């Protein structure tokens, strides 16, 4: 059991709530066209956090970034490369990987509608809304991003006619996250059924069920001169740039982005501030994928 608290204000709400009340959704895939304008919007956009709100909000906005997105925003290469190899390598750039995944023939990356070549998204904006609220919400967000981004693709969603493809309808196999951090995070035999899952299985900067930590950038203190980043639990002398992010759906909320945008990288002299937010293209919302396939993104 850990006595350390969880920073709900720095975690995106989708991981905790699932937004079952916001039954309409739309996803925007963006590419950076003006770095400074894009950074200004990312620093100010009200990303919905994991703090409980009563009543639940009518709308919610979440963010994720790709490796290419981090680079387009000016994040240093050594920081980007400190994320997990799977995030850094991405999809569609390795013929061997494509073969293993079955991305060959008509499903080869060169035929993808997006996600390869010049059509790799930099930022994913996930919009959730109660019935009747989505259209106006999406229109407002699209107007906000126009100065810094091009909209690569708009992905509509469906309730799939009530079909649950992941087998969670009965709730038996639904994991429960250990937000109170009561479960021991160490490698040991589990002889009894337990669906309580360690936070490190989902969030960066926390131990997983083996007591290990997922790869993420840890910075020397001189690269965080104002001590705006939390110190890593596993390496207390290092600033944890990844904490509270997640590869399935990531990016910090307002508090986290304020810290990240203020961090200055030093290489003998002060350089411009760097933004960062880890993310992958494989969240859990259904959308048409390459070559018209239904895939999880």
Looking at the 3D structure of the chain, how many domains does it have? 1
| Boundaries of domain holding 292 | 8-159+251-296
Average pLDDT over residues 15-19: 91
Instruction: Give domain status of residue 207, yes or no.
Output: no
Joined tokens for residue 109: 């990356």
Check residue 44 and give its pLDDT: 94
Instruction: Give domain status of residue 203, yes or no.
Output: no
Instruction: Give domain status of residue 201, yes or no.
Output: no
Instruction: Give domain status of residue 238, yes or no.
Output: no
Q: 49 with 8: CB under 8 angstroms?
A: yes
Q: Is the pLDDT of residue 200 over 90?
A: yes
Beta strands in the chain (DSSP E): 24-32, 59-65, 123-129, 149-156, 176-177, 196-197, 218-219, 239-240, 264-266, 270-273, 286-288, 294-296
Average pLDDT over residues 141-149: 98
> Coil, strand, or helix at residue 138?
helix
Q: What is the pLDDT of residues 150-175, one digit of tens each?
A: 999 999 998 777 776 666 666 666 78
Dist CA 181 CA 260 (whole Å): 25
Decide: residue 106, CB within 10 A, 0-12 exposed, 13-18 middle, 19+ buried.
exposed
Q: Is the backbone of residue 121 left (phi > 0), alpha (psi -120 to 50) or beta?
A: beta
Dist CA 2 CA 243 (whole Å): 16
Q: What is the DSSP string of 65-95?
A: E-HHHHHHTT--HHHHTTS-HHHHH-SSS-H
Nearest to 29 by CA among 130, 160, 142: 142
Check residue 268 and give its pLDDT: 30
Cβ atoms within 10 Å of 267's Cβ, excluding its own? 9
Q: What is the pLDDT of residues 53-84, one digit of tens each?
A: 999 999 999 999 999 999 999 999 999 999 99
Q: Tell me the range of 63-67, 250-254, 274-278 where mean pLDDT is highest.
A: 63-67
Instruction: Give domain status of residue 259, yes or no.
Output: yes
Q: Is the pLDDT of residue 276 over 50?
A: no
Question: Which carries the bigger pLDDT value, residue 5 or residue 261?
Answer: 5
Positive or negative torsion for Cα 14, 244, 68, 107: negative
Check residue 64 and give its pLDDT: 95
What is the chain's mean pLDDT, rounded?
Answer: 81
Dist CA 51 CA 58 (whole Å): 15
Instruction: Give domain status of residue 198, yes or no.
Output: no
Q: Is the pLDDT of residue 101 over 50?
A: yes
Average pLDDT over residues 90-119: 91
Which band of pLDDT confidence, cut at 50, 70 and 90, is reported for residue 265? very low
Which band of pLDDT confidence, cut at 50, 70 and 90, is reported for residue 123? very high
Instruction: Give domain status of residue 12, yes or no.
Output: yes
Nearest to 49 by CA among 256, 289, 262, 195: 256
Instruction: Say if pTM beats, i.e. exceeds, 0.85.
Output: no
Dist CA 252 CA 275 (whole Å): 11
Q: Is the pLDDT of residue 88 over 70?
A: yes
Instruction: Give domain status of residue 232, yes or no.
Output: no
Q: Tell me the range of 27-31, 83-87, 112-116 where mean pLDDT is highest.
A: 27-31
Check residue 292 and give its pLDDT: 29
Contacts of 207 (CB under 8 A, 6+ apart): 185, 198, 199, 200, 213, 233, 234
Between CA 131 and CA 142, with CA 137 as vertex, the angle to 5 degrees is 140
Q: Is the pLDDT of residue 213 over 60?
A: yes
Dist CA 17 CA 50 (whole Å): 7
């Amino acid at each position: 059991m850990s006595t350390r608290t969880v920073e709900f204000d720095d975690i995106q709400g989708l991981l905790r709530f699932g937004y079952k009340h916001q039954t309409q959704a739309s996803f925007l895939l963006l590419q950076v066209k003006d770095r400074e304008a894009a950074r200004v919007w990312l620093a100010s956009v009200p990303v919905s956090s994991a703090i409980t709100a009563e009543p639940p909000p009518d709308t919610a906005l979440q963010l994720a970034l790709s490796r290419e997105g981090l680079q387009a925003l000016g994040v240093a290469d050594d920081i980007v490369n400190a994320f997990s190899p799977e995030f850094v390598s991405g999809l569609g750039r390795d013929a061997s990987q494509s073969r293993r995944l079955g991305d060959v023939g008509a499903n080869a990356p060169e035929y993808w509608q997006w996600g390869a070549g010049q059509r790799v998204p930099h930022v994913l904006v996930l919009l959730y809304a109660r019935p009747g609220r989505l259209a106006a919400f999406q229109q407002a967000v699209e107007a906000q991003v126009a100065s810094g981004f091009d909209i690569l693709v708009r992905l509509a969603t469906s309730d799939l006619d009530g079909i649950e493809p992941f087998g969670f309808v009965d709730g038996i196999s639904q994991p429960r996250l250990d937000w109170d951090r009561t479960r021991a995070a160490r490698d040991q035999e589990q002889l009894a059924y337990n669906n309580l899952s360690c936070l490190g299985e989902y969030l960066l900067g926390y131990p997983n069920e083996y007591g290990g930590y997922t790869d993420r950038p840890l910075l020397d203190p001189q690269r965080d001169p104002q001590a705006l980043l939390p110190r890593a639990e596993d390496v207390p002398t290092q600033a944890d740039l990844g904490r509270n992010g997640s590869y399935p759906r990531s990016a910090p909320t307002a508090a986290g982005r304020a810290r990240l945008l203020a961090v200055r990288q030093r290489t003998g002299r002060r350089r411009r501030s760097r933004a960062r937010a880890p993310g992958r293209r494989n969240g859990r919302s259904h959308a048409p994928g390459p070559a018209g396939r239904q895939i999880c993104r």
